[in-house]
Amino acid sequence: MTEPVLPKALAFDVFGTVVDWRTSVTRESAACLAAIGRSDIDAAAFADAWRGQYIAAMIGMRKSGRAFVPLDLLHREMLETALRERNVDPTGLDDEMLADWNRAWHRLDPWPDSVEGLTRLKTRFPIVTLSNGNVALLLAMARRGGLPWDAILGAEVSGFYKPDRQAYLRTAELLGIAPNELCLVAAHHGDLAAARACGLLTAYVDRPDEYGGAPAPDAHHEQIWEWSASSLTELAGQMGC
Amino acid sequence: MTEPVLPKALAFDVFGTVVDWRTSVTRESAACLAAIGRSDIDAAAFADAWRGQYIAAMIGMRKSGRAFVPLDLLHREMLETALRERNVDPTGLDDEMLADWNRAWHRLDPWPDSVEGLTRLKTRFPIVTLSNGNVALLLAMARRGGLPWDAILGAEVSGFYKPDRQAYLRTAELLGIAPNELCLVAAHHGDLAAARACGLLTAYVDRPDEYGGAPAPDAHHEQIWEWSASSLTELAGQMGC
C-alpha cells in the first residue's frame, strides 16, 4: 500500500472534530435550566435535542433557498424550539439570558488533544476551519480555547453550507490550491464522503464520545480514508509533524 | 479631551501598515532583474511602478464592473505592464520565474515592531486583516512573517475592495459587532477616512518609510484620528496592552 501524497493545507471540521460540543452545551444548559426553575429537564438530552435540529435546519435552508444565515441565528431558533418542546415559552424569558445561553456554542471546550495536535500540524501545514459555524462564533471559540487557526474559512466565507460541493471547492480556491491538494479533517463520515466526491483528500478522526456514546448518525458513509486516527496528535504523527 | 471608548476588535490594513512592501519587493525584483540581464533597471523604481498601478487597478475594477479578482492576478498583470514599460516582453520569460517573482508579495517582511505589537494587541482584542489582498496571499505572508491573526478577512471575504463601504461594514458584520465597535488600524489617511465615513473607529500608524521617504499619495485625507502612533507597539501601549 502506497503512502498518500501529503496535502498542501488542512481544513478542519470543528463541531465534534476539534471541540466537544456535547459536554460544554450540557454543562451550560444545566445551569440555565436551573436558573429558570426547570432542573427536572435532562440537560444532556436537551443538548442533543438542540444540536439534533441542526441537520434538518441545514436541509431546510437549502430547500427554501433562504440566503446564508449565520449559525448563531439558527442556534437561537433551535434553542427556542427545544424549549417549546419542553413546554417552556422562550418569550417569557429574559432576552439577554437567552442570548448568553445561545453563546454556549462560542465557548465549546477543545478535545484534550486538539490544541497540541493543531499546533503540531501547523508547523508543516496551513490549518484552516471548514465549518458551517459563522466567523464570529469560530473566532470567539478559537480565542477562548487557544485554537491556532491560520484562517477561519467555511460556510460564511464561501457562501455555501457543507455538504454543498461549493463549500469544499471554494475553500480550496481561496487557499490557491487544487481540490486534491486540500485535506478535510473530520470526525464525520458524511462530511468526508462529500469532500472526497469533490476530489479532496480525507482524514478521519475518531471521536466516540461526540454523542455521549450513542452511534453517529452518518456511520453508513464510512469508507477507507487516506488517513485515520484516534486523535489530532496521532494524526500529526502520521503526517510527520 | 475624553479618551475614546476602546473597540471590541481591531481590523488592520496590511500593505504598508503591517509589512514593508517596498523593501521586500525591491530586493526580490533586483534579483529577478539581474537574472534576466536587466540590472540596469532601478529595482526600487520598478517596485514603485509595480505598486503604483494598484490604485488605478482598483478604480478600473470598480468602473468596469469586473467581478472580484484575487490580488495575485492583478499583481501579475501589473508586473507584466511594468516590464513592458521597460521594454521587456514578459511573454519571452519563463512562466514559473514570473510566477515566483509575483509571489514576492507573499513574502513581504513585517515592519520591525509589527509582530510584537500585534501579539500584545491580540491579548486584549481580536485582530483581523482588512486588506485588499487575497486570502492565500495573506495566509502565506502571515505564516512566513509570524503575524498572529485571529482571522483573515478583507476584500476576498467581503466581496468588496476598499474603499467601498461594504468592505468595512461587512467586516464588522462578520465579527458580529457594530461598525463603531470596530477600529481600523492603517498607515493611510484615505483608508481611515473611508472607514470613519462608515462609522468605524480609526487608528493611524505612521510609516514614513513606506514610499522610501517620498510623500504619501493620500496625505490630503489627514484628519485627527481616535488613535495615532508611530508603531504598533506604541499603539498597544495606548490601548492598554
pLDDT tens-place values along chain A, 241 residues long: 567 789 999 999 999 999 999 999 999 999 999 999 999 999 999 999 999 988 777 777 777 766 678 889 999 999 999 999 999 999 999 999 999 999 999 999 999 999 999 999 999 999 999 999 999 999 999 999 999 999 999 889 998 889 899 999 999 999 999 999 999 999 999 999 999 999 999 999 999 999 888 888 888 888 999 999 999 999 999 999 9
Contact B174 A134 (CB under 8 A): yes
Q: Provide the 3-class DSSP secondary structure of residue B216.
A: coil
Give the CA-trace dihedral at B32, B36, B37, B39, to 10 degrees: -20
Which pTM value belongs to this model?
0.94
Q: Can you tell me the distance from the alpha carbon of B56 to that of A213, in angstroms, rounded to the nearest whole number? A: 59
Does residue B2 sit within a domain?
no
> Which of A45, A49, A71, A46 lies closest to A58 in space, CA to CA?
A71
B174: which chain A residues are within 8 Å (Cβ-Cβ)? Answer: 134-136, 156
Give, for all 241 residues of chain B, the pLDDT tens digit: 567 789 999 999 999 999 999 999 999 999 999 999 999 999 999 999 999 988 777 777 777 766 678 889 999 999 999 999 999 999 999 999 999 999 999 999 999 999 999 999 999 999 999 999 999 999 999 999 999 999 999 889 998 889 899 999 999 999 999 999 999 999 999 999 999 999 999 999 999 999 888 888 888 888 999 999 999 999 999 999 9
| Domain end (from B71, B106, B141) | B106
B69 Cβ under 8 Å from any chain A Cβ: no
> Which of B48, B79, B55 lies closest to B214 in space, CA to CA?
B48
Nearest CB partner across the interface for A151, out of B135, B175, B176? B135
Same domain, B129 and B85: no
- Rounded to a whole number of angstroms, the CA Rg of chain B reads 18
Does residue A158 sit within a domain?
yes
Nearest CB partner across the interface for A174, out of B136, B176, B177? B136
pLDDT tens for each residue of B175-216: 999 999 999 999 999 999 999 999 999 999 999 999 888 888
Contact A174 B135 (CB under 8 A): yes
| Residue A191 grid cell | 462530511
A145: which chain B residues are within 8 Å (Cβ-Cβ)? Answer: none
Same domain, B54 and B126: no
**What is the predicted ipTM?**
0.93
| Domain end (from A106, A126, A144) | A106
Same domain, A86 and A51: yes
Same domain, B124 and B59: no
Kindly report the CATH number assigned to the domain that includes residue B162. 3.40.50.1000
Nearest CB partner across the interface for B126, out of A70, A139, A177? A139
B6 Cβ under 8 Å from any chain A Cβ: no
CA A181 and chain centroid, separation: 22
B70: which chain A residues are within 8 Å (Cβ-Cβ)? Answer: 176
Does residue B4 sit within a domain?
no
Contacts of A27 (CB under 8 A, 6+ apart): A43
Query: SS3 letters for chain A?
Result: CCCCCCCCEEEECCECCCECHHHHHHHHHHHHHHHCCCCCCCHHHHHHHHHHHHHHHHHHHHHHCCCCCCHHHHHHHHHHHHHHHCCCCHHHCCHHHHHHHHHHHHCCCECCCHHHHHHHHHCCCCEEEEECCCHHHHHHHHHHHCCCCCEEEEHHHHCCCCCCHHHHHHHHHHCCCCHHHEEEEECCHHHHHHHHHCCCEEEEECCCCCCCCCCCCCHHHCCCCCEEECCHHHHHHHCCC
Kindly report the CATH number assigned to the domain that includes residue A25. 1.10.150.240
Chain A 197-236, CB below 8 Å of chain B: which residues?
none
Test the A interface: residue of B160, B174, B182 with most A CBs within 10 Å:
B174
Residue A217 Cα, gap to closest chain B Cα (Å): 31
Same domain, A88 and A134: no
Same domain, A118 and A173: yes
Nearest CB partner across the interface for A135, out of B134, B135, B175? B175
Q: Can you tell me the distance from the alpha carbon of B182 to that of A89, in angstroms, rounded to the nearest whole number? A: 35
Same domain, B221 and B140: yes
Sheet order of strands, B227-229 included? B151-154, B127-131, B9-12, B182-186, B201-205, B227-229
Q: Which residue of B has its CA nearest to A149?
A: B150
> What is the greatest pairwise CA distance in chain A?
61
A72: which chain B residues are within 8 Å (Cβ-Cβ)? Answer: 176
Residue A183 Cα, gap to closest chain B Cα (Å): 16
| Residue A144 grid cell | 477562548
A139: which chain B residues are within 8 Å (Cβ-Cβ)? Answer: 126, 128, 150-151, 175
Q: How many structural domains comprise chain B? A: 2
Same domain, A48 and A125: no
A156 Cβ under 8 Å from any chain B Cβ: yes
pLDDT tens for each residue of B128-156: 999 999 999 999 999 999 999 999 998 89
For residue A206, give its domain range.
9-20+108-238
| Domain end (from A106, A137, A164) | A106
Same domain, B14 and B36: no
Query: SS3 letters for B169-206?
Result: HHHHHHCCCCHHHEEEEECCHHHHHHHHHCCCEEEEEC
A158-164 — which CB contacts under 8 Å span 24+ positions?
A159/A68, A160/A68, A161/A58, A161/A61, A161/A62, A161/A68, A161/A132, A162/A13, A162/A130, A162/A131, A162/A132, A162/A191, A162/A194, A163/A190, A163/A191, A163/A194, A164/A62
Residue A148 Cα, gap to closest chain B Cα (Å): 8
Does residue A170 sit within a domain?
yes
Q: Provide the 3-class DSSP secondary structure of residue B96.
A: helix
